Chain A
């Protein structure tokens, strides 16, 4: 009985989710970006242009039939490069969130469930990390390492985990005195077991929503680091790096900066729309 009710309820909510046009648009964009990232070497008209290949015959061409986004100063097809750029952005978004969750969630569970001094120490630590705007902290950390995609991901994760710690700590505090937790305590389950087997699954929807609303911002921050030269290095077709490279050729070759930037905008918009939809679906507040 309860189960069928649950199913009915779910399908109603799912239907509501699918009814929201903006969420559908977001889902469509995300699928498109993932598709581009996976099959970039098949879809891209000039897959070899990802590297530093030089084609003098096709330098600085404006967008046209052959190259719909135009070509750059050494004749590489911008469209092909933008397609491959999706890989960098997706890897960036997913990896940073995996690291942030892997660090932030256990700390939040421990802080919330153990309480006392441990809670004080962990939450103070998050205060310190959150005392600097995350983009500035990411820049500072990236600045002390050699610039690369991997290091920029480490740099962004460095300032991102405290958000998950705070969120999970608050959730844990709410769940701590629920009947089922008290029951587990009664039958003598260990603290670790209760925190990670009983409480954690109940925080999952919040974590998922937080991650899905964050991924767009992570991608945006990653592109910003790339733009400052603190991320993936040329000739990598990372979008932020491409915008920075193309800036030198303004105002004449406007397409070199315009299209990679547009790709960032569309991708981030897609993830934000989807994240919004998921937030309504799970009905949790994460901000």
Chain B
């Protein structure tokens, strides 16, 4: 097991390196003079040259790249042109909010998607199956930013039952940066309910499409199992249907579902950017969008890289989980 993890982690190094190179090159070919933009129209040519020197922009691109990689090892992602701070520090502040939102959305998606997918497969071609399938088809087609606006309009503006924007108004001690966890640790009940109230609508709008996607994969993979010999054997032994579905079929079907869950994490974080914009959620989206407006290339590179890293790690975790569900996948080999 340890060897497998080591090997798998070692295997992602070329991918990560390629990712850094790709994003880095993209950010350096960015047209428009970002330094001039950051310093304002009053800046003298001397000031601009001095700033470029400070940022190392006067070096040839390969040298800049080596410096960037060197910086990454020491936790330096370059200076943000807008905030004047190390980009990594800015990301550290905004990442937990995005992570919390994505995590809660994923939990909702799995909790809704998997059971409905099973139900749909069991009741194949029944009215319940049709209803669930129509729900899942429209769920996938739903623009999440639009759903976010509709939910905000109805439940926050018109009915006034949920807050319009933000992560919460009650002070919560900052330990992990995840408000729900932090308020649980400190036993802050008011903070917890406040946080849950704030996260519900953003998480719902984000999870609908993901739940639909997971539901579809669960249904397809469960149906693939129905005609397998082992199911027939289990049924002819007279095992209870429920046991066959949950213990036998789901376990086999879940491997493909797991891949979907891993892939969906990526689109979840991408779409979190849109939902954060609607709900004024203080996550990475606001930071990145400001960065885009200022042509803050270090910020854009940093955010993209962090998400790429995160996505790669998630997929490694998914690979490791395969072993738990499918003993045939020998982790050692």
Contact = CB atoms under 8 A, between A and B. Distances in A.
Interface of A: 22, 124-125, 127-129, 131-137, 139-141, 143-146, 216, 220, 223-224, 227-228, 230, 240, 243, 247, 250-251, 254, 257-258, 261, 264-266, 268-269, 272-273, 276
B199 interface: no
29 contacts: A125-B18, A128-B22, A131-B15, A131-B308, A131-B311, A133-B307, A135-B267, A135-B273, A137-B304, A139-B292, A140-B23, A143-B291, A144-B31, A224-B143, A227-B145, A228-B273, A228-B277, A240-B145, A243-B149, A247-B149, A247-B278, A250-B152, A254-B153, A258-B150, A261-B149, A264-B146, A265-B138, A266-B141, A268-B141
The B interface, classified by DSSP as helix, strand, loop or mixed, is helix
B274 interface: yes
Contact of B304 (A132, A223, A227): A132
B295 to A, nearest CB: 8
Chain B residues touching A, range: 35 or more
B273 A144 contact: no
Contacts of A134: 266-267, 270
Interface in B291-328: 291-292, 297, 300, 304, 307-308, 311-312
B300 to A, nearest CB: 6
B248 interface: no
Contacts of A127: 15, 18
Contacts of B143: 220, 223-224, 227, 240, 243, 261, 264-265, 268
A128 B15 contact: yes
Contacts, number: 130
B29 interface: yes
Nearest to A143: B292
Contacts of B289: 228
Contact of A257 (B141, B149, B267, B308): B149
A251 B157 contact: yes
Contact of B149 (A128, A146, A250): A250
B234 interface: no
B269 interface: yes
B113 to A, nearest CB: 15
A220 B140 CA distance: 10
A224 B153 contact: no
B142 interface: yes
Residue of B15, B31, B143, B291 with most partner-chain A CB within 10 A: B143
A227 B94 CA distance: 21
Residue of B18, B145, B307 with most partner-chain A CB within 10 A: B145
B64 interface: no
Instruction: Give me the 6 closest cross-chain CB pairs, A-B, nearest first.
Output: A133-B266, A261-B146, A135-B270, A251-B157, A128-B18, A268-B141
Interface in B137-186: 137-138, 140-143, 145-146, 149-150, 152-153, 157-158
A145 B300 CA distance: 13
Contacts of B291: 143
